[in-house]
Structure 1
Amino acid sequence: MEKNVVKNILADIDLRQNLIKLKGSMTAADTLDGPIVEKLCDCLSHEDPKVRKNAALLLGYTKNSMMASVLLDAYKNEEKDFVKDAYLKGMSHYDCKPYIKELQEIQNELMNSEVVDSKHIKAQLKVLNPMIRSYSYHKKKSIRLLHKEVDVILTTLPYYQYTLFEQVKHLRYKPVGQGVLVRTKAIYDLLGLRNYREMIFPLSGCSGLAQDGHLIGKRIAQSNLVDVLHRLYDAEGCFYYRLVDQMREKKSAVINDVVQELIEEMPSHLQNVTSDYDIEILIR
């Protein structure tokens, strides 16, 4: 942390530039206290939105638990959308359990906004979703007994494929490379079938892609995934998912890029977790 920069901020010298410098010099081990904290709180009502934004981010570096309340109040009063995620990032450094109900209300409002694809709303949900999840119990979603038609692939070993045909003759079906593609209005009716290994829902526009995580993530976001989930599940809101790497050659960088792209593209629909997930997304 640069002491001269702090002095300049306290003296209102090149305020925006010095706030950016201070933010850039901070490390995880640094802590702000004393007069600079009070000054940063004052900056939350500054006329320059970029001053407010950088001050909010810096207020995540104090040890004062009351900063969570200060930042939440400033968030509610903020008029510029591009500044709002900074207040949430600052809050994420503190215990926000006392404010979880208010944060959930903000999350719900953002997810039901008519401009849910706005990059500023996505930026806020990117911070809010994992923060709320860390304080919440997730109840797994239930599949409908009857639903609109969906296509599902029942994978099987090659020598079991024809015996599986016999069990799905009453449905629309066709053989595919991995097993049998079936169109059904009741997934539960398929659970009792023998000889299949996996139940996979193919996503439109997601086959034959290059091993580019950003491309794969974008195609998943543009696919029929949300429609399939809404057909199958008697629930709305965010789905917890686990991303499974089933490529022949494992490429962790590709998988990480897929996750990051889905965070950017689908913050109101998907959250990546490693346990207690609703669905798995298979990359194969």
Structure 2
Amino acid sequence: MINRLCKRLNQNIEVRQSLSSLRQEIKDSSKRELLLSWIHDGDLDLSVFLENEDAKTRKNAALLIGDLALSSESDAVFHAYQTEDTRFVKEAYLTALKSLNAAPYVDVFRKRYEELSLYEASDDEKKHVEHELHALSELINTIEPFKKHRFLGGRQTFHCIFRTNPLHPEITAALMEESSAASSKMGVRVKTNHLNRLLPIRTYNELLFQIPGMVSCKPDADVAASVIAGSNLMALLENTHEGDFPFYFRIGVKSRMALSERSKFAKKVASKLEELTAHKLRNSTSHYEFEIRMIEGKSGDYYLLVKLNTIVDRRFSYREEFIPTSIKPVNAALLVELAKDYMIPDAQILDPFCGVGTMLIERQKVVKGNTSYGIDHSPEAIEKAIYNTNLADQIVHYINKDCFTFTHDYPFDEIFTEMPYATGQKTEAEIREVYEKFFPFAKRVLGPEGTIIMYTRNREYVKQFAVKSNFRILKEIKITQRPESYLMILK
């Protein structure tokens, strides 16, 4: 197929279609190499098609050169971009140049961006001008990656929503010690002049900002962009960051629209917002510094929230290694807060299903134990647990074996663990067997006053087998609705 298409190009037969077909064919790496051999041997010159009288042919030729990363054609593509009169083709040249050697032309691209930003496009031109601007922005940042703005914070007032576990926002609210903190469906709302004091709290999933003047909007792209541009967003960005405009953003839409419609809507909002802010805010899907969340409400209007990716979250920086079944550190931190009244300081602690060590590490940050042991049957998990624990600057003794064969010279005060659950690797019958073995094992390794603090997705097995080993349930707290999971404390 490659040979036939190349011959057709050399014979000027259905050039546009042949170029388009080649773009599809080279998705197969072997066919890509065959086409490159035609070019490198001098049997095919794609640059000649950049001068074709048909605009779509020029577009396909440029994109194919980019697909093949033919840096030898950088000058030809750049020259074609400068001389191109058809607006919808200019974006294709810029897209191609992202894969070529475009560094020598970066000053030209910057100048073109500034000129185009000030250009008053007609209705017919507007879409293509916006596409060219976006492509220029992406290309410039490919050549010279932008310096990300640094968040400075400050003592100004922030209107925040700390997203939390929906069943337990009160835990995060209590840790804030802020009189304005109030639980809501989305988490904890708080108005604070002490943001830096709240950032280290370990039980929230993410931080979103409510911007004065940017609370909600009608489901219209132009209206939404006008509300965002007219709000205090620009002032907040400028006053809380080191560095000047532009700032790069993305739009995220959560609504009942189909995915393709949501994407179109987000692009319309982003494009209009760039225009209204004189391109001080620039849309990017790859290196954005903040996100604008548009969440459709029951009325059809959109709630508007902002997430600043410039705020570096260092709370769980130790957790570099994980496995697919690893508990999220924020969830482990929540479990610790919910169970801390049952944890004994200076306790001897065991996690018989420790995974990568997250539960033990998070416990130690709130209630300091004495000696901690972690056991797991997976060598990979143990290796990663050791790595994470070293980063957390803690000491845990890790053992790679089946926990039910584990013995120890002295009893433990506490078992703190996330129990295994049915996955692609473990069946429900195997999980039931784990619970059946677990409580006799726990009775053997715990002291007479020992405590089990477990996170489980199988509450019925706990109730069924705990009593047989004389354990009683002191407390159970629902953690998630779907699937149901519980924190259970037993003695």
Inter-partner Cα distance in structure 2 for 1:35 and 1:18: 16
- 2:246 matched residue in structure 1: 237
Question: Does the C-alpha gap of structure 1 residues 51 and 241 become closer, same or farther in structure 2, counting only changes over 3 Å?
Answer: closer
Following the alignment from structure 1 to structure 2, what is the Cα–Cα distance between the partners of residues 241 and 103? 22
- C-alpha distance in structure 2 between counterparts of 1:151 and 1:118, whole Å: 36
Give the TM-score, by structure 1 length: 0.64
| 1:133 to 2:137 alignment | no
CA contact (8 A) 1:56 1:90 kept: yes
1:279 aligns with 290
- Give the aligned partner of residue 36 of structure 1: 44
- Partner Cα distance (1:194, 1:238) in 2: 25
Q: 1:282 to 1:43 in 2, by over 3 A?
A: closer
TM-score by length of 2: 0.40
Specify the SS of the correspondent of 2:12: coil
State yes or no: 1:164 paired with 2:176.
no
Question: Does the CA-based 8 Å contact 1:122-1:264 persist in structure 2?
Answer: no
C-alpha displacement at 1:15, in angstroms? Answer: 2.8
Question: Which structure's residues are more often strand, by fraction?
Answer: 2
**Cα distance change, pair 124–146 in 1 and its aligned pair in 2 (3 A):** farther
2:52 pairs with 1:52: no
Change (3 A) 1:142 1:121: farther
* Count of aligned pairs: 251
Larger radius of gyration: 2
Query: 2: CA distance between counterparts of 1:63 and 1:155?
Result: 44
Q: Does residue 1:95 correspond to 2:95, yes or no?
A: no
The CA deviation at 1:9 is 1.8
What code does the residue aligned with 2:179 have? L
Contact in 1 for aligned 2:217/2:227 (Cα 8 Å) = no
Matched, 1:120 2:133: no
User: Root-mean-square deviation (CA), in Å?
Assistant: 4.7
Shift of 1:138: 1.5
Q: Secondary structure of 1:66's match?
A: helix
Q: Compared with structure 1, are the counterparts of its residues 144 and 194 closer, same or farther at alpha carbon in structure 2 (3 Å cutoff)?
A: closer
Which consecutive residues of structure 2, in runs of 5 or more, have no partner in the other structure?
A: 164-168, 239-243, 275-281, 296-491
Deviation of the 1:12 alpha carbon: 1.9
- The answer to whether 1:270 aligns with 2:283 is yes
1-structure distance, mates of 2:23, 2:178: 64
The change in CA–CA distance for 1:76 and 1:226 in structure 2 (over 3 A counts) is same
Query: 1 CA distance for matches of 2:88 and 2:70?
Result: 25
Report the Cα distance in structure 2 between the residues aligned to 1:19 and 1:192, rounded to whole angstroms. 55
Structure 1 equivalent of residue 88 of structure 2: 82
Partner residue of 2:159 out of 144, 152, 155: 152
Q: Distance in 2 between matches of 1:15 and 1:70?
A: 19
Could you tell me whether the CA contact under 8 Å between 1:23 and 1:58 is conserved in 2? yes
Q: CA deviation at 1:57?
A: 1.6
For 1:118 and 1:144, locate their aligned partners in 2 and report how far apart those are by CA, in whole Å. Answer: 37
| Structure 1, gaps ≥5 residues long | 168-173, 208-214, 246-252
**CA distance 1:16–1:181, shift in 2 (3 Å):** same
Q: Distance in 2 between matches of 1:17 and 1:280?
A: 39
Deviates further, 262-271 or 52-61? 262-271
Structure 1, residues 128-174: CA drift from partner, whole Å, max 9, x if none?
Answer: 33333233231416789899xx9834659656599524x9xxxxxx9
CA distance in 2, matches of 1:154, 1:238: 22
Identity score, percent: 22
- Highest relative contact order (Cα 8 Å, sep 6+), 1 or 2? 1
Within 1, Cα distance between the matches of 2:49 and 2:118? 31
In 1, the alpha carbon distance for the partners of 2:28 and 2:264 equals 22
**SS in structure 2 of the partner of residue 12 of structure 1:** coil
**1:208-259 C-alpha deviation (Å, 9 max, x unpaired):** xxxxxxx89x6996463333332323343342469799xxxxxxx97x9967
**Paired residues of 1:60 and 1:93 also in contact (CA < 8 A):** yes
| Secondary structure, aligned partner of 2:71 | coil
The 1:260–1:95 alpha-carbon spacing in structure 2 relative to 1, beyond 3 Å, is farther
CA contact (8 A) 2:94 2:139 kept: no
Counterpart of 2:159 in 1: which secondary structure?
strand
